[in-house]
Structure 1
Amino acid sequence: MEGGTGDDLDPDLVLSFIQAVRDRDPNGLGRFRSDEELLRRAGVTLDEGRPSVAGLLALGVHPQQFFPRYVIQAAAEPRPGDPIGVRARNQVTISGPIPRMLDEAMAWARRTFDTTIVSAADGTVLDRPDYPFVAFRELIANALVHRDLDSWSEGLSVEVRLRRDRLVVSNPGGLYGITTDRLGHEGVTSARNARLVAICQHVRTRDTGSRVIEALASGIPTVASSLALYGLPPAKFIDAAIRFTAVLSRQQQAAVPRLTPTQQMILDAVHTELTVRELQDRLGLTAPTIRKALRALMQRQLVIQNGGRGRITSYRYSGRGS
């Protein structure tokens, strides 16, 4: 499946990749002073200077020249008031290298997700999409870097379907080296396309300059926590061996009340591990008020307690849903 020449790599993406490697890994991959050697050692190019599959997908000018179905097919279900015969809304085929596809998928989501007007705890009024953008971004990034690249999957694309009651993201290939019940557990990760993942750690998107992935096994916990903060049910993951699917539901969790302003204030604070005394100093709340809110947050599995039994007790955000 190798193909292309050096001209099939995007010069701007390659330059950004090299700079990121030298900034973030100066004594490892970044120690190779020659750009050509660095790209070869990174697996972007082969010995002959031709781009590898991973190099084309992450940094190519137009990878679909060689892999026509390495695209995202996205569409939204018609609304009830749409004319008879309307089969889909905002249907798009997104192509290009991975960072461009990620940016374009986010642009599609911003155009397509419905929004509601909500009041925040501080009194500000915000437009909130039906699904948290951060969760959608993580699911798309995972689908792009972990999709199967074997010959059997060449005709299949990453699929995104926005239904009236759910959002579905699926990619060719099931889970690799992990099961659905282990997804989201701290430190648990497995990469089907190890070279592609390694390259994408240093790739930046053009629109925002953000990383494509972190490769820290933080994607699924981020999805879980963002859904919990929205009051949405946890994501459902389906591994069908030849296709992996993530489903987000719009149905609010009626059994789980919204956080109170005090609980939200404390949850925002404990993204850094803090004691009750430190929370008092930072938030100006009484210790009994803080402890009551912490108990409620721990019951919803949003906060973890560390220490106790003679040791200093501290609290931190769990990164998981309620």
Structure 2
Amino acid sequence: MSEEGQLFDKKSLRVLRDGERGLRELAADCVAMANASGGRLAIGVENDAAHPPPGQRVTDEQVMRLNKRIPTLTLNVAVAATRQVAPNGGEWIELQVFASRQAVAATSDGRYYLRVGDESRPLMPEDLARLAGDKSAFVWEAQPQSQVPRSRVDADKLRDFVQGIRASDRVSARVKIKSDAELLDHYLMADADRLTNLGVLWLGQRPDRAVLRHAPVIQCIRFDEQGLKVFKRVWDDYSLNPQELIDAVWREVPDWQDSYEFPDGLFRKNVPHFDEVVVRELLANALVHRPYTQGGDIFINLFPDRLEVHNPGLLPLGVTAANILHTSRKRNDHLAQVFYDLKLMEREGSGYDRLYEQLLASGRPGPKVEEGDDRVTVTVQRRIAHPEVIDLIGKADSSYQLQPRERTALGLIAQEEAITAAQLAKALALRNADELRPWLGRLLDFGLVLTQGRTKGTNYRVNPEVLKATQYRGRTSLRGIERHRLRELVLRDLGIYGRSKRGEIHARIGAEIPERTLRSELAAMVQAGLLTPLGEAGGRRYELTAGR
């Protein structure tokens, strides 16, 4: 057996017994080889041995696990694991790593390596930039399928596609007049006489889509209160293109039909547990933004209180869970264009705006985005925390024709009853309160929202007259209490209970009062000579100034 070097490395079979830790170590070595010239890993052969131990056996499950897990732990890495038998009868696994000629390979958690001699070295930023410059751009969608001629399209899928394009008001007349063949070229679904990856994905026949590397598979699983699986539906036969997948998921999962019923005057109003717009937008984002060079299924996990959509791969470089509402990075440009032109999703970068708007308008919090080691999870709540907000937003929108961002901001303010500029900016993932103006829009001009204070300490609350006019049925709380009333509460509290810490005062007069508001008012009362502070920092207490 060859000596370890640039193109060959040995690994003990123990690496597979170390579970996830061992697999991630192998993934790093695969990335290093892919970024160099490719190579082979002999798994089951010790570093100082020429052959595996006699009698060593390799299971089918170990080989299958490598073929399945290495692609999910890496990006732009192609591998092939096979079982081999040495002259002494011992078995080992040969893991072939193919060179990534056109794209930089990485682990799924964003680490880069390069094979140098017999070592896998982590790449520094300056090395990464140089490596990226040496590789030509790789566009997965536009890569032609050598075995699939353009004549082998699914006639029904082609008919639906061209009809959808020609009926869309998002497509220019110049494009609509193209022939069917010209439309395939325009959307990069064909290259000369062959279909591209995108063409096979959208228009190909089932056998061709089935062998397409990492064609999307969706699993929907429902869990009960104890976390046990009670329903499962899998779309894994590759007979559906992305548009048909979304339709099938919406049509075949019974949970989407469940709804809450709320009184609305003499009538009843039904609000779905999960709005169709939200579900379709989540699925469209999962299908469009996943890296198609990385394996892994899309999971829709339904819990009694929430919906989770798990998408393989990480967020595009530069996009984080904190800035996803405002930052746009394209990953699959041509696939995204097809989705947009067919009106299956909003324009790039505005999808999450729509999710926030729809969820807040239905009395729910916005979506929660979390990035793991190899996947992105988006969570939306099933239960409506603020049903009264639905009616408020609906009536305000009917009267003033609010813009999407205005609806989002009004929904946040109404749910919180009163919110500071700093808190509102944080909820909208803005850098500071100065960026709130486009979101507030005309809410202040219309008198829907009132303000108190200045700069980042500004408090926003829904105008009480608007609440009265819309017969708002929300509970009354002290979140938006006026400062002079808060001062009277503090004076009365200390008059009864005497010397107290801020937390003690807060608990007695109303825990829903924002802590920042109470802290500011206590400081103002000390400055005005109404209160005397005793002690420092966390031990500070307040008492009425002598003579009051």
1:100 aligns with 2:244: yes
**Counterpart in the other structure of 2:223:** 77
**Counterpart in the other structure of 2:183:** 38
Are the counterparts in 2 of residues 145 and 197 from structure 1 also a CA contact under 8 Å?
yes
How many residues are treated as equivalent by the alignment? Answer: 273
* SS of match in other structure, 1:106: helix
* SS of match in other structure, 1:128: strand
* Offset of residue 194 of structure 1: 0.7
Are the counterparts in 1 of residues 217 and 234 from structure 2 also a CA contact under 8 Å?
no
Q: Letter of the aligned partner of 1:244 in structure 2? A: V
1:201 aligns with 2:337: no
**Counterpart in the other structure of 1:51:** 195
**Counterpart in the other structure of 1:212:** 344
* Offset of residue 229 of structure 1: 2.4
1:190 aligns with 2:329: yes
Q: Which runs of 5+ in 1 are unaligned?
A: 204-210, 274-292, 317-321
1:91 aligns with 2:233: yes
Q: Letter of the aligned partner of 1:305 in structure 2? A: G
Q: From 192, 212, 219, give the equivalent of 1:66.
A: 212
Q: From 125, 134, 137, give the equivalent of 2:268.
A: 125
Q: Letter of the aligned partner of 2:381 in structure 1? A: S
Q: Give the 3 Å change call, closer, same or farther, for CA 17–120 of structure 1 in structure 2.
A: farther
Q: Give the 3 Å change call, closer, same or farther, for CA 123–180 of structure 1 in structure 2.
A: farther
1:225 aligns with 2:357: yes
Q: Letter of the aligned partner of 1:191 in structure 2? A: K
* Offset of residue 241 of structure 1: 5.4
* SS of match in other structure, 2:195: coil
Identity %: 22
Q: Give the 3 Å change call, closer, same or farther, for CA 147–123 of structure 1 in structure 2.
A: farther
Scaled by the length of structure 2, the TM-score of the pair is 0.44
Q: Give the 3 Å change call, closer, same or farther, for CA 68–149 of structure 1 in structure 2.
A: closer
Are the counterparts in 2 of residues 18 and 35 from structure 1 also a CA contact under 8 Å?
yes
Summarize the alignment of residues 125-204 of structure 1 with structure 2, pairs less than 5 Å apart: 125-150=268-293, 153-154=294-295, 156-177=296-317, 178-185=319-326, 188-203=327-342
* Offset of residue 46 of structure 1: 1.0
Deviation string 1:241-266 (CA, Å, 9 cap, x unpaired) is: 5311101123544xx57238565311
Deviation string 1:12-49 (CA, Å, 9 cap, x unpaired) is: 33234334445543455445x3432331132011122x
Q: Letter of the aligned partner of 1:197 in structure 2? A: A
Are the counterparts in 1 of residues 165 and 176 from structure 2 also a CA contact under 8 Å?
yes
Q: Which runs of 5+ in 2 are unaligned?
A: 1-142, 404-410, 429-438, 449-461, 463-548
Q: Letter of the aligned partner of 1:242 in structure 2? A: D
Deviation string 1:179-229 (CA, Å, 9 cap, x unpaired) is: 2222223xx4222111111122234xxxxxxx3223253321221122212
**Counterpart in the other structure of 1:259:** 389
* Offset of residue 299 of structure 1: 5.7
1:13 aligns with 2:157: yes
Q: Give the 3 Å change call, closer, same or farther, for CA 8–249 of structure 1 in structure 2.
A: farther
| Whole-Å separation in 1 of the counterparts to 2:320 and 2:190 | 32
* Offset of residue 106 of structure 1: 0.7
Q: Give the 3 Å change call, closer, same or farther, for CA 11–127 of structure 1 in structure 2.
A: same
1:244 aligns with 2:383: no
| Whole-Å separation in 1 of the counterparts to 2:230 and 2:268 | 31
| Whole-Å separation in 1 of the counterparts to 2:337 and 2:163 | 15
- Which deviates the most, 67-76 or 10-19? 10-19
Scaled by the length of structure 1, the TM-score of the pair is 0.70
Q: From 366, 369, 372, give the equivalent of 1:234.
A: 366
* Offset of residue 131 of structure 1: 2.3
Q: Letter of the aligned partner of 1:240 in structure 2? A: G
* Offset of residue 236 of structure 1: 0.8
Are the counterparts in 2 of residues 44 and 51 from structure 1 also a CA contact under 8 Å?
yes
Q: Give the 3 Å change call, closer, same or farther, for CA 122–267 of structure 1 in structure 2.
A: farther
Are the counterparts in 2 of residues 135 and 226 from structure 1 also a CA contact under 8 Å?
yes
| Whole-Å separation in 2 of the counterparts to 1:176 and 1:18 | 30
Are the counterparts in 2 of residues 54 and 199 from structure 1 also a CA contact under 8 Å?
no
| Whole-Å separation in 2 of the counterparts to 1:45 and 1:263 | 46
Structure ranking higher on relative contact order (CA contacts 8 Å, 6+ apart): 1
- Which deviates the most, 59-68 or 224-233? 59-68
* Offset of residue 146 of structure 1: 1.1
Q: Give the 3 Å change call, closer, same or farther, for CA 196–264 of structure 1 in structure 2.
A: closer
Q: Give the 3 Å change call, closer, same or farther, for CA 101–8 of structure 1 in structure 2.
A: farther
| Whole-Å separation in 1 of the counterparts to 2:164 and 2:322 | 34
Are the counterparts in 1 of residues 203 and 241 from structure 2 also a CA contact under 8 Å?
yes
Q: Give the 3 Å change call, closer, same or farther, for CA 271–219 of structure 1 in structure 2.
A: farther
Are the counterparts in 2 of residues 58 and 196 from structure 1 also a CA contact under 8 Å?
no
Are the counterparts in 1 of residues 218 and 235 from structure 2 also a CA contact under 8 Å?
yes
* SS of match in other structure, 2:182: helix
* Offset of residue 118 of structure 1: 1.2
Q: Letter of the aligned partner of 1:92 in structure 2? A: V
Q: Give the 3 Å change call, closer, same or farther, for CA 9–239 of structure 1 in structure 2.
A: farther
Are the counterparts in 2 of residues 174 and 243 from structure 1 also a CA contact under 8 Å?
yes
* Alignment RMSD: 3.6
Structure label with greater radius of gyration: 2
| Whole-Å separation in 2 of the counterparts to 1:126 and 1:100 | 30
